[in-house]
Amino acid sequence: MPSIEAEVLATNLAFYEAFARGDLDAFDALWAQDAPVACIHPGWGALHGREEVMASWRAIFGSGGQRIRCTQASAQVLGDCAYVICGETLDGGELVATNVFCREGGTWKIVLHQAGPVHRRVERRPKPSTEKPN
Amino acid sequence: MPSIEAEVLATNLAFYEAFARGDLDAFDALWAQDAPVACIHPGWGALHGREEVMASWRAIFGSGGQRIRCTQASAQVLGDCAYVICGETLDGGELVATNVFCREGGTWKIVLHQAGPVHRRVERRPKPSTEKPN
């Protein structure tokens, strides 16, 4: 695996580990300070800006620990940004999440998190004969 | 509004207009050709790669038109990437979406779309006294 993708995946894993530990300081430090951040919790509307986003996480962390496990994470790097798509396994069910990262001071920081429920497993379709070549 | 944000919002709007018109060719042309694309439809697992993503949209477009309207779109630019968060109003309800863009050949292209249902409106919280300064 290319090392840049590995760096992004390590930051993504740190995000879920801090979440599972309920370690708000470590969690906070993973979010960008300068870049504009946003967050969409499952079923919620969008939260914009560090203040609103971190207030939501404080409320979530304050309501007790969360058994959460990140699964099947894959990272795609787009220059100084990257995104990870992964599953989130919780006691209450299965979610799918997008996490967007950018570099700040040479370190990957999270700028955007959206998680939503999965009701339908993806079926692998046969390759359509009309598929455009990539 | 800075012109770069306006460019991103114009591409985001073109995405929803092509969707509403059922114009698959125009819609396809808005997605990145070189950058890795992904898509998470509401309730679905993640789709990775242009072939899988566009096959899902062909199926959606093929099942008839979609009355969809993009609302409250806001763009944040992160160098050669950007993200838009917006609402999606459909006959079946209200969604919230993240769209991530990157530049290809000087043009903004979509690389990632995730939409999920909104069950809970965001309440504006009073500013906590312990809020860290930004």
Q: Is B54 left (phi over 0), alpha (psi -120 to 50) or beta?
A: alpha
The verdict on a CB contact (< 8 Å) between A128 and B80 is no
In this structure, of B1-5, B14-18, B96-100, B113-117, the range with the lowest mean pLDDT score is B1-5
**Topology of domain A3-117, CATH:** Nuclear Transport Factor 2; Chain: A, (3.10.450)
Contact by Cβ (8 Å): A27, A19:
yes
Other beta carbons less than 10 A from residue A23's beta carbon = 14
**Distance, CA of B46 to CA of A111 (rounded, Å):** 20
Q: What's the confidence (pLDDT) of residue B66?
A: 81
Contact by Cβ (8 Å): A98, B112:
yes
In this complex, the residue of B79, B114, B134 whose CB is nearest that of residue A51 is B134
* Residue B120 or residue A30, greater confidence: A30
Q: Is B91 helix (H, G, I), strand (E, B) or coil?
A: coil
**Distance, CA of B28 to CA of A97 (rounded, Å):** 24
pLDDT, one tens digit per residue, over B46-60 is 999 999 999 999 999
The rounded percent of chain A whose pLDDT value lies above 70 is 87
Q: What's the confidence (pLDDT) of residue A92?
A: 79
The ipTM of this complex is 0.87
| Reported confidence tier of residue A128, pLDDT bands at 50, 70, 90 | very low
Average pLDDT, chain A: 89
pTM of the predicted protein model: 0.88
Which chain A positions have a beta carbon within 8 Å of B53's beta carbon?
none
Its sign, for the CA torsion B85, A8, B78, A50, is positive
**Distance, CA of A99 to CA of A112 (rounded, Å):** 6
Which chain A positions have a beta carbon within 8 Å of B78's beta carbon?
35, 80-81, 102, 111
Query: How far does the CA of residue A73 sit from the closest CA of chain B (Å)?
Result: 11
The verdict on a CB contact (< 8 Å) between A119 and B43 is yes
Nearest Cα neighbor of B18 from B9, B10, B27 is B27
Residue with tokens 């990272």: A75
pLDDT, one tens digit per residue, over B87-113 is 999 987 999 999 999 999 999 999 999
Average pLDDT, chain B: 89
Point out which residues pair with B30 in neighbouring strands.
Answer: none
| Reported confidence tier of residue B63, pLDDT bands at 50, 70, 90 | confident
Residue in chain B lying closest to A56 (CA): B125
Domain ranges of chain B: 3-117
Which chain A positions have a beta carbon within 8 Å of B109's beta carbon?
none
